[in-house]
Amino acid sequence: MKERVELHQVREFGDVINDTILFFRQNFVPLVKAYLVICGFFLVAGTAVEIVSKLRDLEYDEATTPFNTSYWLTLLFSLVNSAVVMVTVYSYMALYREKDKEAPTVTEVWGYFRYFFFRVFLSNVVLDICILLGFVMCIIPGIYLLPALALVIPIMVMENTSLSYAFTYSFKLIKENWWFVLGIFLLIGLIYLAAVVVVVLPALIITGGAEWISGMKLNSTEIIASAIATNLARVFYIVPCITAALIYFSLSDQKHGTSLINRIHKFGKSNPGADQSSEQY
Q: Assess contact for 200 and 232: CB atoms under 8 A.
A: no
Instruction: Name the pTM for this structure.
Output: 0.82
Q: Assess contact for 21 and 202: CB atoms under 8 A.
A: no
* Residues of the chain scoring pLDDT < 70: 1, 57-70, 138-139, 141-142, 203-204, 206-222, 257-281
Q: Assess contact for 158 and 94: CB atoms under 8 A.
A: yes
Task: Report how far residue 236's alpha carbon sits from residue 34's, in angstroms, rounded to the nearest whole number.
Answer: 14
Dihedral (CA of 101, 105, 108, 114) sign:
positive
3-class state of residue 257 by DSSP: coil
Q: Assess contact for 200 and 229: CB atoms under 8 A.
A: yes
Task: Report how far residue 215's alpha carbon sits from residue 205's, in angstroms, rounded to the nearest whole number.
Answer: 15
pLDDT of residue 28: 92
- Cα atoms in the Cβ-side hemisphere of radius 13 Å centred on 153: 33
pLDDT of residue 158: 94
pLDDT of residue 186: 92
Over the stretch 74-108, which tens digit does the pLDDT of each residue have?
A: 788 888 888 999 999 999 999 999 998 899 999 99
* Residues in CB range of 47: below 8 A, 6 or more apart: 227, 228, 231
* Residues in CB range of 52: below 8 A, 6 or more apart: 70
Query: What string of DSSP letters covers 105-116?
Result: PHHHHHHHHHHH
Task: Report how far residue 127's alpha carbon sits from residue 121's, in angstroms, rounded to the nearest whole number.
Answer: 10
What are the domain boundaries of the chain?
Answer: 13-264
